Amino acid sequence: MIPNDVRITPELVAEHGLKPDEYQRILDLIGREPTLTELGIFSAMWNEHCSYKSSKKWLRTLPTKGPRVICGPGENAGVVDIGDGQAIIFKMESHNHPSYIEPHEGAATGVGGILRDVFTMGARPVAALNALRFGEPDHPRTRHIVSGVVAGIGGYGNSFGVPTIGGEVNFDPSYNGNCLVNAFAAGLADADKIFYSEAKGVGLPIVYLGSKTGRDGIHGATMASAEFGENSEEKRPTVQIGDPFSEKLLLEACLELMASGAVIAIQDMGAAGLTCSAVEMGAKGDLGVELDLDKVPCREEGMTAYEMMLSESQERMLMVLDPAREKDAEAIFVKWGLDFAVIGRTTDDLRFRVRRHGDVMADLPIKELGDQAPEYDRPFVKAAKPKPLAPADAPAPNDLGEVLTKMLALPDMCSRRWIWEQYDHLIQGNTAIGPGGDAAVIRVENGPKGLAFSLDVTPRYCAADPVEGGKQAVAECWRNLTAVGAEPLAITDNLNFGNPEKPDIMGQFVGCIEGIGEACRALDFPVVSGNVSLYNETNGKGILPTPAIGGVGLLPDYTRRATVAFKAEGEAIVVIGETKGHLGQSIYLRDIAGRRDDASAPPPVDLALERRNGDFVREEIRAGNLTAVHDVSDGGILVAAAEMAMAGGIGASLKPQTDLPLHCWAFAEDQARYLATLPEADAGALLARAAQAGVPAARLGTTGGRELTVNGGVPISLTGMKAAHEGWLPAYMAAGAEL
C-alpha cells in the first residue's frame, strides 16, 4: 500500500459528502487511514444515490413478489414473465440534477443509463418513456430546460433506435430550481437467458467493454484540483456526455456476446462507474476483485486511480467471462469497433484491490463496502390528514364551455405533441398505441401479444396527502394500463423527494411509500425495480413529492386493444364508476378557481372499487364490446370526453344523470372512473352486465356532430377546443425563440 501523499482532513472528508460518524465507521472498518482513492471509493459507494441509506428501511416494506416476477429489485432492472418463454425487463431512473445543470446531456445520459440497465440483463430495448417535471412556464429557465431535455431525450433514443412512446409532463413552481427527468426503458428477452451481475468462479477474467474512460462525471467535483496531485488537470464538469452511437454498438456487441455463451456476469458502469460495478459483481458473488488500472482504456493521459475509479464516462460495461471464450469475445467487440480489455481477475479473498503503476492504491473488504454502508432511520413527521373540500366551497363558472376550452390549454393539460413529435415513436415497427393515449402499447415481436406502458403520479395529491397520493399514483397507472385492455403486471418506482434530513420531507416519503405499498398489494401489482432521488431542493425549498410509477401490462392479443378516440357517430357513451363531485386538489380548483394554496384532501382512492371497475372494463375490451375507452383523471369527466372527441374528430351530446352542481360533475376528479363508447344497440346489455358485476355504470350521452353539448346547453366547438389544446405548448416554446 502506498503512503498517502494527500492528508485526509475533515474538510476533505466533508467534501466527499461523508459525515464525521460515517468517516469513523470507515476507520473502524479498515483499521487505518484510507488512501485518497479509498476515500473516493467509499464516498461513491456510501452516497445516498448508491446506498439508499435513507430509504432502504422503507423500501423493504414494498411488495416485490408475484407469480410472474422473475427478478425483483436489486439487479439492474426488474424481470417479469410474459409467457411463452419471454420476459419483459424494465426500470425507471432519475437524472434530475444533471438535467438541470445541462439539460441536453443530462437528459440524454439519463436515457443512455436506463437503456444500458435493460440490455445489461440480455434484453433488446423495445420501449422508452419519460416522466418530466419542469418549473412554472414563466420562470426564465423553464423554456431552456424543456427545450434541452426534450432534444436530449430525442437525440439519444432516436439515434440508439428505441421507440419513445409515452410519458407525462407537469409544470410547477416547486421544480423551478430542480427539474425532474425520470427515464423509463423496457426490453424483451427469453426468460431463460437473463444475465445477472453476480460474479461466479475464482481467477476469472474481468473484462472492460465499450467506450474509453475519461475525466467526465467525476464525483466530488467540489474538490480543488490542487488536492489531486501534480498530474491532474483541472476538474471537468460533473455532467457526463452521452454518445448514443457507441451505446448502439455496445448493445449489438453485448447481445451478440451473450448469445455466444461467453458471459458469466455483466454489470453496466452507471453511477460511480468502475467502482460500483466491480464491487457489486464481486460482493454479490462472494468473491474478491483485483483490478489493474493500467489496463483500462483511457481517453486522456495521466489519469489517476482516483479519477479512474470515480469517472462516470458513459457507454461502458464490465463482464466476467468464460476464459476459454476470451478470444471469441474480443473478436465480437473488435468487429463493432469497441474497446475490449482484460483489466482484472476475480479472487477468493473478498478484497477489492486496485493497482495503478504497480502500486496498490486501494485494498478494501468488498462485502463491507456495500453491505456495511450506513443506514438511517431518519426522523419523520406525518402531516395531519387534510379535510375534504366542502362542495359549496368550489365556485361555479359562468360559462362551462369557456372553462373547458381554457382547461384544455393549461400547461399541465395541453397536448404534448410538440414534445413527442421530436421522439421517434415508430421505429421497430411495433407501435400499436403511440404517445397521447392512456397507455402506450407495442406489439411483442410477431404478435399476438402486446405490452402496455404508463408512467403516472399526481404530485399535488401527494403533497396534500402523501398516503392517498401514493395510492393514487399506483391506481392511476393500473387504470391507464387497464384502459387499453392490458392486464397490469408490475411496476418500477422512481421516488423523487426533497431533503430527507427534514422530518416533514421524510414524512412525505414515508407516507407515499405506505400508500404505494397498500395499492400494490391490493392490486397485485408488485414493485420489481426502482430508484430513489432525494435532495431535490433549491434554496431550502423542496419539490412536490413526486413518486413516479412506471407500470407494465400485458395484452394477450394486441389487436384487442382500446384507444381514446371516438370511432363513429351515434354511438352510446357510458361512464363506469361513480362521480361524487370531489373537487379538492383538482385542476379546476387549482387553475380555474385559482386556489393553488388550497390544502384540502385529494380524491380518496378505494382500491377494491378500483379493482372491480377496472376488471370489468378490461373484460369488456377483451370481449371486443367497447369501441373507445378513456380513463378519467386530471380535469375530470368533461375533459376526458373532450379528449375523446378531439382524438376522433367527432363531437358528443352529454346528458349526465346527476344531482350534483354541473361544474362539480364536470370537473371532479373522483377515482376509478372510465368513459367508454359502444354501438347504441349494445348499451343496454353493457349496463346490465355492469349492474350484475356490482360496477356503477350509467349512460352519459351519444357521439356525433362537431361539437360537445352538455344538457342541451351552448355547444362547445371541437375546432376551438382543439386549437386551444394543441396550441399552447408550440406557442409557448416559439415565444422563447423570439427572445
Distances (CA, A) of 328 to 121, 137, 253, 257, 263: 20, 54, 12, 8, 11
Nearer to another protein, 107 or 516 (CB): 107
How is residue 377 written as a grid cell? 432511520
| Smallest distance, another protein to C-beta of residue 91, A | 22
For the packed helices 142-160 and 103-119, what is the interaxial angle rounded to 10 degrees? 30
Nearer to another protein, 5 or 738 (CB): 738
Nearer to another protein, 406 or 416 (CB): 416
Q: Return the CA Rg of the chain.
A: 26
N-term to C-term CA, the chain: 58
Catalytic residue among 49, 97, 104, 725: 49
Nearer to another protein, 442 or 481 (CB): 442
Catalytic residue among 16, 95, 97, 630: 95
Rounded Cα gap, residues 568 and 665, in angstroms: 25
Phi and psi at residue 71, to the nearest 5°: -150, 120
DSSP-assigned states of every residue in 172-184 = -GGGTT--EEEEE
Angle at 668 between CA 410 and CA 452, to 5 degrees: 70
144 is annotated as an active-site residue: no
Nearer to another protein, 10 or 245 (CB): 245
How is residue 705 written as a grid cell? 356532430
Residues in the chain: 739
Give me the residue label for grid cell 415508430: 426
Phi and psi at residue 230, to the nearest 5°: -65, -25
How is residue 63 written as a grid cell? 411488495
Nearer to another protein, 286 or 421 (CB): 421
In the complex, the residues that contact another protein under the rule CB under 8 A are: 151, 154-155, 158-161, 243-246, 248-249, 336-337, 420-432, 443, 558
Rounded Cα gap, residues 561 and 620, in angstroms: 11
| Smallest distance, another protein to C-beta of residue 481, A | 19
Look at residues 509, 501, 499 and name the one whose alpha carbon lies nearest to residue 534: 499
Q: Which residue type sits at 208?
A: Y
Nearer to another protein, 426 or 714 (CB): 426
How is residue 422 written as a grid cell? 421530436
DSSP-assigned states of every residue in 11-71 = HHHHHTT--HHHHHHHHHHHSSPPPHHHHHHHHHHHSHHHH-TTTHHHHTTS----TTEEE
Look at residues 617, 631, 154, 209 and name the one whose alpha carbon lies nearest to residue 425: 154
16 is annotated as an active-site residue: no
Nearer to another protein, 563 or 585 (CB): 563
Is the Cβ–Cβ distance between 103 and 153 less than 8 Å?
Answer: no
Q: Which residue type sits at 672?
A: A
| Catalytically active residues, by annotation | 49, 95
